[in-house]
Structure 1
Amino acid sequence: MNNILEVKDLNISFHTYAGEVQAIRGVNFELKKGETLAIVGESGSGKSVTTKSIMRLLPKSNSEIKQGSQILFDGKNLAELSDKAMEKIRGKDISMIFQDPMTSLNPTMKIGKQIAEPLIKHQNFSKAQAKQRALELLELVGLPNPEIRINQYPHQFSGGQRQRIVIAVALACNPKVLIADEPTTALDVTIQAQILDLMKDLQNKIDTSIIFITHDLGVVASVADRVAVMYGGKIVEVGTVDEIFYNSQHPYTWGLISSMPSIDTEDDELFVIPGSPPDLLNPPKGDAFAARNRYAMAIDQSEEPPMFKVSNTHYAATWLLHPDAPEIDPPEAVQRRRKQFPGNVTKGEK
């Protein structure tokens, strides 16, 4: 598949009273046409900052995309585009679904007008054409009685219905890339499942590429083709869903997998990764995860690990993949999953 979006050496800082926070540090990934890439990690790992930088939605007052950063889309580096140029892309070619639908919708505008707005702006639709398309979109996202509901306000809908409306707004111009920033976190599990099914169905219908941000690995398993694991402003592991779930190599990914409840869990308490994420005002010298990693070696304290190749689609930044690293036994939850993996578990190469 061809890459529709490429992020290369992305570095983003926030300038605060305390100093420069190096929020994103050398992030690289690509999004292929028609695929869903999930970006996972704890709160504060850099997921939302990375994707907001693609949309150029970071606050100008204190954020800075460092020189040399590249966000390549449709032959352009989005990191260098003017605000006026980005306005032509944002909402048309790249759209975003935010976490809380109530704050994404204008409470004073009828939902039909909100769905029609990008169509009038980007597609030069007349008001009548935009209204007809809005009705089609409401039907597409499964909202009942669209002819009546198109004239209602956001407060007249449930949380799940509002999220469907937000998805309709995002899909109005048939974007090439759709960014979903934890779109189901505020919803109960039943509605969450419906929204995830809806997004998979819509992706097949309009052939868009999706970046799905979440901290819930259970959600990842049901929606993603590939997974990028973020920690401390960096991507520490990337691979297909099966590779991340059944052959994960980074100790941080092991921690995330071990903290997932399952029917096999016998302990009364869930696993918790000890410690806290690093202070990115003063990023650690070696591996950012070393202080929380029970498998850390001396080299983790002084040298940052490179990305080691596990397979053609699977890479991980951990010294445990070095040919000279000792053999270790990962957590039981990871070992159980590895037994289900069809491929071989081998050391990587730099």
Structure 2
Amino acid sequence: MGKPILEVNNLRVSFKMFAGEVQAVRGVSFTVNKGEVLAIVGESGCGKSVTAQSIMRLIPSPPSVIKKGSSILFDGQTEIVKLTESQMENVRGNDIGMIFQDPMTSLNPTMTIGSQITEGILKHTKATKAEAMQRAAELLTLVGMSNAQERLLQYPHELSGGMRQRVMIALSLACNPKLLIADEPTTALDVTIQAQIIDLMRDIQKKTDTSIILITHDLGVVAEMAHKVIVMYAGKVVERGTLQDIFYDPKHPYTWGLLRSVPRLDSNKENELVSIPGSPPDLYAPPVGCAFAARCPYAMKVCQEIDPEHFDVGEGHTAACWLNHKDAPQVELPVGIGRGAHG
């Protein structure tokens, strides 16, 4: 893997609401290297999408506020937090592309596919209209759409869900961005189309060496694509590591819960799906100690009182859980968790 393309440090994002301040993202830090796929996983409402949209500066302000001390450094030199809106317009699409959750609401229903793809090319490059259309046709072919020239003249409503998602991917790749953010790219699609889109993204990533941040709650998608994983809960990173670390040697009870809630092909009666009891905490007033303590079967007194630091549990593998303290009691891992369990 190459040098860092994105360094997020102590990102804190709040929403000022009538009833108070929602602390949606609370001190998130991570690095994405050139040519690397980083997956951000966690339940709905854990801060994944807010983190992604903060990198693109797409969350409306007000009510959102990126707090002082937050840093989003792109390509070693551009501090995204400090850019004006007009400067950000040069970054979006050109340096950082984004694939949104629902292509039907993200594509403009009044513009042809060709117009939408060429818009960014004409804005960010010196291409002529004809060159931009040629590039758009090449992109549609790259994302596996047949009859590309005809597709350029069609409108979003004339395409299926899977085709629209392919158009979204083509759109995000139009200006050869260095970083691609894919926010739940397969959520609105059926299972067979999901598999095709994952294969397509993996293929494109290998061909173009683009770095990807993959936002998802689908661990199956993560297993197919990611090099590194960060697990988020209640606006914080609770565990980070390589794909191998998270799937085969997880060290946080929340990660165990996520893994146990996923069906496995080698499953038997003992490995039934287990949901995580309870619900995430209210981020108007986050708990003093570990945010997961109220739902954690292993919670100790210290968990309720002091928020755990990140403990080093391997090379580049950290987990914010008191169970990793040298004086913590040994616990027996749940069935189906740990080395060999997901082999």
Answer whether TM exceeds 0.5 for this pair.
yes
- 1:34-73, Cα deviation, whole Å (9 max, x unpaired): 0100000000000000010000001112000001100001
1:92 shift after superposition? 0.5
Question: Match of 2:84?
Answer: 82
Question: Match of 2:15?
Answer: 14
Question: Match of 2:69?
Answer: 68
1:269 shift after superposition? 5.6
> How high is the TM-score relative to the length of structure 2?
0.97
Question: Match of 2:119?
Answer: 117
Question: Match of 2:226?
Answer: 224
Answer yes or no: is 1:48 the counterpart of 2:46.
Answer: no
CA–CA distance in structure 2, aligned partners of residues 180 and 341 of structure 1? 25
1:332 alignment partner, SS class = coil
Structure 2 counterpart of 1:298, one-letter code: K
CA RMSD of superposed structures (Å): 1.3
1:142 pairs with 112, 125, 144, which one? 144
1:96 alignment partner, SS class = strand
Question: Match of 1:95?
Answer: 97
Q: Is there any run of 5+ residues in structure 1 with no aligned partner, and where?
A: 343-350
CA–CA distance in structure 1, aligned partners of residues 221 and 248 of structure 2? 16
CA–CA distance in structure 2, aligned partners of residues 81 and 314 of structure 1? 32
Structure 2 counterpart of 1:144, one-letter code: S
- 1:216-258, Cα deviation, whole Å (9 max, x unpaired): 1111100100100000000000011111000000000000001
Question: Match of 2:131?
Answer: 129
Question: Match of 1:188?
Answer: 190
Indicate how the Cα distance of structure 1 residues 165 and 11 shifts in structure 2: closer, same or farther if over 3 A, else same. same
Question: Match of 2:279?
Answer: 276
1:339 shift after superposition? 3.8
Question: Match of 2:333?
Answer: 330
Given that residues 242 and 341 in structure 1 are in contact (C-alpha distance below 8 angstroms), is that contact kept between their aligned partners in structure 2? no
CA–CA distance in structure 2, aligned partners of residues 145 and 52 of structure 1? 33
CA–CA distance in structure 1, aligned partners of residues 63 and 81 of structure 2? 16
CA–CA distance in structure 1, aligned partners of residues 284 and 342 of structure 2? 39
Q: 1:149-298 counterparts in 2 under 5 A?
A: 149-262=151-264, 263-266=266-269, 270-298=273-301
- 1:107-130, Cα deviation, whole Å (9 max, x unpaired): 111101111010000012111110
> How high is the TM-score relative to the length of structure 1?
0.95
- 1:120-143, Cα deviation, whole Å (9 max, x unpaired): 000121111100100100111010
Q: Is there any run of 5+ residues in structure 2 with no aligned partner, and where?
A: none
Aligned length: 340
CA–CA distance in structure 1, aligned partners of residues 161 and 49 of structure 2? 21
